């Protein structure tokens, strides 16, 4: 990743630095510590790469599976200038809502509502 990178993804704070990526990825891994991704397919052309992922984890003691597609803009040397991730966040949020044992971990992870979580967690 370039130091100054544009990051856009559902449920995570958008950002423009590698440290933003690391902070937001840490929040996701805090909620889903066993998160695993498998590349289903990929395609690229010149400076754009698409990667389709199948992601799985445990949330509230039950399995959670979803798919995502990352669109990456690359430099000529292969570093990432921009990342847009696309996935339907509805099933993930439905899983959080219907699994009360996931509520506190979801809030503590920092993935709760952005403004409230940042104020509460002082981040």
Question: For the chain, what are the domain ranges?
Answer: 4-121
Least confident of 74-78, 96-100, 113-117: 113-117
The C-alpha atoms of residue 79 and residue 114 are separated, in whole angstroms, by: 29
> For the chain, what is the total number of helices (H) and then of strands (E)?
4, 6
pTM: 0.81
Would you identify the CATH topology of the domain 4-121?
Nuclear Transport Factor 2; Chain: A, (3.10.450)
Least confident of 29-38, 40-49, 87-96, 113-122: 113-122
């Amino acid at each position: 990743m370039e130091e100054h990178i544009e990051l856009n993804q559902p449920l995570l704070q958008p950002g423009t630095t590698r440290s933003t990526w690391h902070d937001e990825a840490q929040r996701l891994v805090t909620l889903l510590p066993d998160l695993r991704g498998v590349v289903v397919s990929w395609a690229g052309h010149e400076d754009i790469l698409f990667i389709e992922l199948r992601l799985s984890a445990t949330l509230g003691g039950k399995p959670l599976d979803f798919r995502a597609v990352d669109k990456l803009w690359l430099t000529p040397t292969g570093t990432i200038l921009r990342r847009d991730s696309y996935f339907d966040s509805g099933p993930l949020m439905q899983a959080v809502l219907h699994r009360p044992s996931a509520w506190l971990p979801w809030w503590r992870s920092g993935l709760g509502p952005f403004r409230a979580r940042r104020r509460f967690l002082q981040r």
